[in-house]
Structure 1
Amino acid sequence: MLLFLVYWLLIVVHVLHCGAGSLENCTETRCNHLGPAIRFPFRVKGRQPRHCGYKGFDLSCTNDNQTLLEIPSSAYNKLFVYMINYTDQRIKIYDPNGCLRTQVLNLSLSSSPFESKSRDCTTFSCPSSIERDRHSNISGCLVKLSCLGNNPGHQIFAVHSSDDCSIDSLPLLSCTKVRDYSSVPSILPEDNIRNLSTQNDILDLYWSIRSCDYCQRMEKKCRLHYKYQSVGREFECYLPLPKPPPPKGSHNGRASLKVLGISTLSVVAIAMLSVIYYFYSSNKTEKESQRRIERYLDDYKAQKPSRYSYADIKRITNQFKEKLGQGAYGSVFKGTLSTELLVAVKILNNSNEKGEDFINEVGTMGRIHHLNVVRMVGFCADGYIRALVYEFLPNGSLQNFLSSADDKSSFLGWDKLQEIALGIAKGIEYLHQGCDQRILHFDIKPHNILLDQNFTPKVSDFGLAKLCSKDQSAISMTTARGTIGYIAPEVFSRNFGNVSYKSDVYSFGILLLEMVGGRKNFKIMEDSTREVYFPEWIYNLLEQGNDLRIHIEDEGDAKFARKLAIVGLWCIQWHPIDRPSMKVVVQMLEREGDNLTMPPNPFSSTSN
């Protein structure tokens, strides 16, 4: 405890010594009122500390208050900034001397965090009398470099490699080749540049390091975390401290200033202690989770799903333009990888402190290749952001098509329900038997069954999944997994048996009964005096030989409904040993309904 107090005392002394604003000078600034806004990931070198921006994003202000970008390890490393677009992560730079086309020949971006569109280039020394044929579209191929040292009677031209510019078709017979250049950044002519008296040439540079959008959506600011300042990789969100109000009046002189100073330092000290403690406690768990995920993903590279940065995710989703849904574990957005491939991007909440849901889903999906299991295209683990990228399934979840008993508007028909039930069963059977290790899903429910354009079902959402060997008859669980109403009895109480792959069978049985009943799994009124559990109500109807009375129009419908109901009732037997395996379930669904026998009454002990 004493060491803890000494530690905080040293922090307070440091704050008092360095000034109350030592952590608050990362606010947005400009070199002049018309210049570009400078904020994270950029910082003004010499004015702001290193934690205000990433390494390599240093800007400086010239004596005449122009914004300057320094490119390290480049022969020409000082370029003036015209504009910074933080949304597109793009910075526009120019040369006030009008020599940008010449200077980029020796511009190296290899040691900087920026990149640009580039192409190869060759320079030629030509006589001043060379004529450029403007009618053969070569005027745009020969670029005069007026800033290079031209000999009397000669001038230097650059020829950029492209499909439209062939050296063989240009009038270069009287010219002498000077030098070849590779990967020269492409210059864009700009006609609408304001406040520039020089040649209107602009160089667009892009960066892909994660931006501050995540913090800004929470109305917070960004700065590098103190542990990672040397690496320049991780940042944290923070709320700026409020500035103390200015003193009113000065007739009390030194006494007023002294009281104000003591009050200000006290407020700053308390605020600093609160802020530091908050970030220490909130970031410690998150950093440990990130390190755990990074270690896992390093081992996972061999399995080859694509890994995307946060900038990639924003581009794929068009800045999160179209939201498909919101769940307990995060939001889902529609995205585009190409004109042929649409995807669904799930941005995960940080609800699981250890990142187990994310690791479970990525690790499990990398092992799966089956028609009835959703395909994971890639993932993102970029600092605080975790996302999963799946194939886009246009018909959404099965839940959308499970209507109430008196609503036929979304009913798919019994033959289609039979196909969907069989497809789900095959998908789960593959999870249990088709992989090197058995995959237990633990969250089978209509929301997690997605339908493609042909209504082919695909099992999704593996955040709660567990892996075990195929010869393992039981697994250990410290807490219940799944959704209430679909969780097998043994998951709650070992009195019913051990937790195993039969727990997924139970959840599938409840799902089948919902498909038959077209309603959520809840209690319904059979008469005015007694409530009956929904699966028990279906069992009673079948046992008494009554029609299920749910969208039944002919004898064929009745047979389909009866078969799905009987298989579902077999699957929800209380004791796991009495339930069939998914392989047997598939066989039962492929069999004629008349050949199925009624299971024992699983409600006999509860119906009295």
Structure 2
Amino acid sequence: MEVLTAFIFLSIFAFTHDTQARSLLQVCSSSCGDQNISYPFRLKGDPASCGDPDYELSCSNNKTIMEYYSGKFYVKKISYENRTLNIVDVNLANGTCNLPYRSVLPSEVGNDIRYKGMAFKTYASFMNCSKIIRDPAYKKLPCLGGGTSDVYVIYDSYMLSNLPVGCKFISMTPIAHGNVNNPSYEAILKLLKSGFDLGWSVECRDCLLQNYTCQISEYALPFNYQCSNYESLVSIVLTIVFSLLGNFFIVISLIARFILAPIVILGFLLHKFRKERKAVDNVEIFLGNQQSLMPKRYSYTDIIAMTNHFKDILGEGGFGSVYKGQLPGGYLIAVKMLKNTKFTAEEFINEVSTIGRIHHVNVVQLVGFCSEGSNRALVYEFMPNGSLDKHIYVKEGRAQSFSWEKLLEIALGTARGIEYLHSGCDVCILHFDIKPHNILLDQNFIPKVADFGLAKFHPKEFDFVSVSSTRGTIGYIAPELISRNFGSVSSKSDVYSFGMLLLEMAGGRKNADLKAKSSSKVYFPSWVYDRLDNGGDLELQNVDEIEIEIAKRLCIIGLWCIQMKASDRPSMTKVVEMLEGKIEDLKLPPKPVLSSPQHLCTREPQSNSSSEISESVEMCLYGDSNVYSHQSNV
């Protein structure tokens, strides 16, 4: 215990010292009207050494203004003692009938590492309705609407998954909690005018930027936060526990070494042998039954010869390493050597049975396989241009790898490959892991869908498929794969992942980027929807009209694909038609209101288990009021 206590003390001291060293900025003081502006805040135009850039404010007509995501707010009060500030939307500050300046989503408040909502979990949501709403919770704005439609506001509406029939979402904004049920319109105006509170903690932000976990340690203003590196602490605790257990077993073994040790060893070896034998037997039974339908089977000796003793490695991943090889006729291949601990017998059978039966220009070809004892390998056609993720993300100072015409070709080819999986085979094949890393490019940059380890078959006549566990990669997983509250799993789950892929191709970046230059661009789908909805441009450089149309087409189709309800998404056949069609035929879909929490979340699971993935993403969807967690690599 003394060792553990000392380590925890040293860890906290080291983190505190590091945070203080990185946060040493000149404490300057300025003012705007009667508002004192001091550290960590700064005003635009202050010397660069003043305050913290993440907490920059502006001053206009003696009023302090804060830009929070896409919204603009007056800062009514800053309490440096409690580390809180009260802000109000610039359009709602005078308490008159109006709409918010911009919509502020729950995901934006919940995922901000600089600020944290204090005493509110309440929102005011505005919508335009073509029909009269009888529900007393919906209050009509007397100054807006009229004619064929009216504008309504509802208080305490955190989730808008079911809008009334005939209503279209306009915007939503946080609102002070009034402890009232069904307040009048005048009461809602008063609450909107009073604004809402945000708390801040520079130390907590710095903690999250180091991939640690920051949580409230004391629930009293000002909130105190504790930064913890749980991985290091768990490692030390486990080391101590195993050390104590080791000493205990040494004593026991000295007493009964000729009885207990042989029994334990024999039982372990027997269990291991039976477990490995069962897995091998399952694979052999499957391969025997499918022999006439599958690619060539190679021996492990063949694999060694084809890869020249695994000389040229192409890459490494969680499931194993990939090596460049060559068949006797000179045909180049890529050999994936699988790790038994990561790639299960079920996933091996999935990969062989799925790709082995498919022959399509946009699906990677499985040339052969090896299953010899514990040695398993998959032999693919060689893709000299690697995976799509190495080409689409634009790095600073470098031009885009592809022309917009080529990007459209790659998107169309990928869509055709997925469409073939859904409707071109005897059964519907659901991929469940569509992402840039799993789209490979041949020598002519023709895209090919790859990696079928998570794939699942289901009959075409069924509209949905039963899936017992969460499958996929965070940032591309459809909502219904995380929680059945969002609907049934179907081929539309792959459509969602393809939509996220399309948006990353169009944006040349990850959909969620906390390091974006502008706060409104942190979540790309939300930013691009607002630009398209308001008739703005996409801020493209050195492009002509045709290229602008291609970019808009990719974005609009991507936004259709990531609709929250699976029934609102197009089929892959329809997606292919949209990609082949004209931009004039495309209409902007409804804004996917609740899509951003999943993708803005950057908390990754600590293991590859489906339960860990599901738990991790559900936290992103529904939030955690006590704990912030952030990791830079999504």
**TM-score, structure 2 as length reference:** 0.52
Residue 581 (structure 1) aligned to one of 562, 571, 576:
571
Counterpart Cα distance in 2 of 1:408 and 1:594: 32
Structure 1 pair 420/454, CA: closer, same or farther in 2 (3 Å)?
Answer: same
Counterpart Cα distance in 2 of 1:274 and 1:595: 70
Post-superposition shift, 1:444? 0.4
Counterpart Cα distance in 1 of 2:498 and 2:439: 11
Query: Residue 399 of structure 1 aligns to which amino acid in structure 2?
Result: D
User: Percent sequence identity over matched residues?
Assistant: 52
Is the 1:285–1:354 contact (alpha carbons within 8 Å) kept by the matching residues of 2?
A: no
Give the equivalent residue in structure 1 for 2:432.
442
More helix by share: 2
Residue 401 (structure 1) aligned to one of 391, 395, 412:
391
Residue 330 (structure 2) aligned to one of 340, 344, 358:
340
Counterpart Cα distance in 1 of 2:393 and 2:464: 36
Cα displacement string for residues 365-394 of structure 1 (whole angstroms, at most 9, x for unaligned residues):
122110000000011110001110000010
Which is higher, the Rg of structure 1 or of structure 2?
1
Query: Residue 297 of structure 1 aligns to which amino acid in structure 2?
Result: L
Structure 1 pair 440/407, CA: closer, same or farther in 2 (3 Å)?
Answer: farther
Structure 2 residue runs without a partner (length 5+): 1-252, 598-634
User: Is residue 381 from structure 1 mapped to residue 371 from structure 2 by the alignment?
Assistant: yes
User: Is residue 358 from structure 1 mapped to residue 351 from structure 2 by the alignment?
Assistant: no
Structure 1 pair 308/525, CA: closer, same or farther in 2 (3 Å)?
Answer: closer
Query: Residue 306 of structure 1 aligns to which amino acid in structure 2?
Result: K
Counterpart Cα distance in 2 of 1:409 and 1:269: 70
**SS state at 1:600 partner:** coil
Counterpart Cα distance in 2 of 1:553 and 1:501: 35
Cα displacement string for residues 526-549 of structure 1 (whole angstroms, at most 9, x for unaligned residues):
787667532111211221222222
Alignment of 1:444-463 (within 5 A): 444-463=434-453
Counterpart Cα distance in 2 of 1:493 and 1:377: 37
Query: What is the aligned length?
Result: 346
Residue 509 (structure 1) aligned to one of 472, 477, 499:
499
Post-superposition shift, 1:553? 2.3
Counterpart Cα distance in 1 of 2:517 and 2:331: 52
Counterpart Cα distance in 1 of 2:470 and 2:542: 37
Structure 1 pair 486/321, CA: closer, same or farther in 2 (3 Å)?
Answer: same
Structure 1 pair 270/371, CA: closer, same or farther in 2 (3 Å)?
Answer: same
Structure 1 pair 605/426, CA: closer, same or farther in 2 (3 Å)?
Answer: closer
RCO (CA 8 Å, sep 6+): is it higher in 1 or 2?
2
Cα displacement string for residues 420-475 of structure 1 (whole angstroms, at most 9, x for unaligned residues):
00000000000001000110000000010000000000000000000011111011
Give the equivalent residue in structure 1 for 2:417.
427
Residue 499 (structure 1) aligned to one of 480, 489, 499:
489
Counterpart Cα distance in 2 of 1:604 and 1:487: 14
Give the equivalent residue in structure 1 for 2:295.
305
Post-superposition shift, 1:517? 0.9
Is the 1:449–1:458 contact (alpha carbons within 8 Å) kept by the matching residues of 2?
A: yes
Structure 1 residue runs without a partner (length 5+): 1-262
Is the 1:317–1:334 contact (alpha carbons within 8 Å) kept by the matching residues of 2?
A: yes
Counterpart Cα distance in 1 of 2:459 and 2:290: 19
Give the equivalent residue in structure 2 for 1:544.
534
Is the 2:304–2:310 contact (alpha carbons within 8 Å) kept by the matching residues of 1?
A: yes
Give the equivalent residue in structure 2 for 1:565.
555
Counterpart Cα distance in 2 of 1:459 and 1:529: 34
Structure 1 pair 271/568, CA: closer, same or farther in 2 (3 Å)?
Answer: same
**TM-score, structure 1 as length reference:** 0.54
Counterpart Cα distance in 2 of 1:361 and 1:285: 21
Is the 1:524–1:534 contact (alpha carbons within 8 Å) kept by the matching residues of 2?
A: no
Give the equivalent residue in structure 1 for 2:280.
290
**SS state at 2:429 partner:** strand
Give the equivalent residue in structure 2 for 1:116.
none
Post-superposition shift, 1:340? 3.4
Residue 311 (structure 2) aligned to one of 292, 303, 321:
321
Structure 1 pair 412/285, CA: closer, same or farther in 2 (3 Å)?
Answer: same
**SS state at 1:380 partner:** strand
Structure 1 pair 526/310, CA: closer, same or farther in 2 (3 Å)?
Answer: closer
Post-superposition shift, 1:267? 4.8
Counterpart Cα distance in 2 of 1:446 and 1:400: 8
Counterpart Cα distance in 2 of 1:530 and 1:448: 29
Is the 1:405–1:550 contact (alpha carbons within 8 Å) kept by the matching residues of 2?
A: no
Counterpart Cα distance in 2 of 1:528 and 1:423: 33
Query: Residue 533 of structure 2 aligns to which amino acid in structure 1?
Result: E
